[in-house]
Amino acid sequence: MGRPRKPRFVDGLELPDNLYTDPKKRKNYWRYIRPDGSILTFRATTVEAIRQAKQANRQRDLFKHQPAANETLWTARAGSLLDRYTSWVAWTELNHPKQATASRWAQKRRYVERMCEQLQNPMPNELTLAMVREWWESQDYHPQRNSRAALRSFINHLMLEGVVPKLPFNPFNTSDEAPKLIPRQRPPKVRQRLTITDFWRIHDKAGELGYEGLQIAMELSLLTTMRRGDVCSLRLDMHVTEVGIDKGVEKSISQRGEERATYLRWSYSKHPGLRRVINRAHHLSLNNYRCPFAVSYPPKRRQPRAKQDEHWCRLMPSRISNQFKEARDAAGVREDLPSNAKPTFHEIRALASHLLKKSGHSPESIAEICAHTDAEITENFYLSGHEREYIDVGITIDPKLISRK
């Protein structure tokens, strides 16, 4: 008889089988081992992760026979919700090829797949409004906001096929003329703004840590208001010319398409500081095995990438965020704040917008280079939260009117 497995505890709670903590030591990140050996990485509190793992383990017990070699536990039931999910993916990629090649398509598929898994993969004719509502209201604001469009498309597909008779309407629609699930209210912003003093403290500390690519990324974001993804995808052989930088906004391309997206040009004559940053990026590229990207970093171990147009020294967005956090904490910036309130790399973009406003530029012109749909987004989410602006009051009351008798 084998030795019994030693129980594992996190925060005083015993972890069920197949649930493990994150190997990168990230807080509230977990790994669940599926029946086919694949790993599902998800984010949840300890109590919620244990609940989901126990729920998935109960689902395993329903299938005592081993599924086919090319099937997993979740897709073993023919005609189930995940089986319909596969047909929805195939239909979308066939009829909407532009959406299927978008950068966010994989994430949208994952939102739908996660809903099917967390609902225990029922048959479509068993799906009720009460089940969907209970699951929807257990989600936080950001998962609701990000997944609603994909879920609406998936339920539309099921309703057109006539396989969800217990759903009287699409609960994920956004029209006020029909019933719909109410999303959570947006939580108040807790992340603090980044000041220019803190920016240079983090910038100097990044140099001490050997993160020259992070320094270049910070300077590019400050001078151009580029997002983290745009900075990482900036190529010296495609977007950098003799007179400046020509770059399309990736978020705008994914949302509006290449024809209607926002394309920006920064010329060295109007932005002289960019020439120095790009020259530094060229030198870093030569040191990092001629990496064609403007920001690069040689990892300790070379890992071949799936895409041929990428380079193994390319500095990816997740690594930029991790390096920024490391440099920020090493520099002692906002040590008194909790981790979720400390400024991140994205706050450089807000700092750049704030400095542009102080330079005398209008919110409308700032919204244009930020590729926002209107200036209200720029005002509410990028220009607010910095130091208070005081209006000089130049009118007074006549002292004779308030004299005491």
In this structure, the number of other CB atoms found within 10 A of the CB of residue 312 comes to: 15
**Is the per-residue pLDDT at 36 higher than 80?**
no
Residues 139 and 220 occupy one common structural domain: no
* Residue that has been written with the tokens 């030198």 in this structure: 283
Residues 219 and 146 occupy one common structural domain: no
Q: What domain range includes position 239?
A: 196-348
pLDDT for 218-269, tens place per residue? 999 998 889 999 999 999 999 998 989 998 888 777 777 777 788 888 899 8
Please identify, among 161, 183, 204, the residue that sits at the C-terminal boundary of a domain.
161
Do 383 and 363 form a contact (C-beta atoms < 8 A)? yes
- 13 found inside a domain: yes
Do 49 and 40 form a contact (C-beta atoms < 8 A)? no
Q: What is the CATH number of the domain that holds 344?
A: 1.10.443.10
- 291 found inside a domain: yes
Residues 264 and 339 occupy one common structural domain: yes
pLDDT for 321-367, tens place per residue? 999 999 999 999 988 888 888 999 999 998 888 888 888 877 777 77
Residues 111 and 40 occupy one common structural domain: yes
Residues 44 and 136 occupy one common structural domain: yes
Do 141 and 185 form a contact (C-beta atoms < 8 A)? yes
The pairs formed by 296-300 with CB atoms below 8 angstroms and a separation of 24 or more are 296/213, 297/211, 297/212, 297/213, 297/214, 297/323
Per-residue model confidence (pLDDT) at position 331: 94
- 2 found inside a domain: no
Per-residue model confidence (pLDDT) at position 99: 74
- 39 found inside a domain: yes
Please identify, among 134, 161, 188, the residue that sits at the C-terminal boundary of a domain.
161
How far apart are the C-alpha atoms of 123 and 110, rounded to whole Å?
A: 19
Number of domains in the chain: 2
Burial per residue of 35-54, b for 16 or more beta-carbon CB atoms within 10 angstroms, e otherwise: beeeebebeeebeebbebbe
- Sign of the Cα torsion 257, 262, 268, 269 reads positive
In this structure, the number of other CB atoms found within 10 A of the CB of residue 196 comes to: 11
User: Closest Cα to residue 147, out of 102, 118, 112?
Assistant: 112
Residues 276 and 213 occupy one common structural domain: yes
Residues 200 and 155 occupy one common structural domain: no
- 387 found inside a domain: no
DSSP E strand boundaries for 249-314:
263-267
Residues 154 and 91 occupy one common structural domain: yes
**Is the per-residue pLDDT at 114 higher than 50?**
yes
pLDDT for 158-168, tens place per residue? 999 999 999 99
Band (71; pLDDT cuts 50, 70, 90): very low
Please identify, among 297, 313, 348, the residue that sits at the C-terminal boundary of a domain.
348
Per-residue model confidence (pLDDT) at position 207: 94
Residues 122 and 261 occupy one common structural domain: no
How far apart are the C-alpha atoms of 269 and 266, rounded to whole Å?
A: 9
Band (25; pLDDT cuts 50, 70, 90): confident
Residues 77 and 157 occupy one common structural domain: yes
Residues 128 and 15 occupy one common structural domain: yes
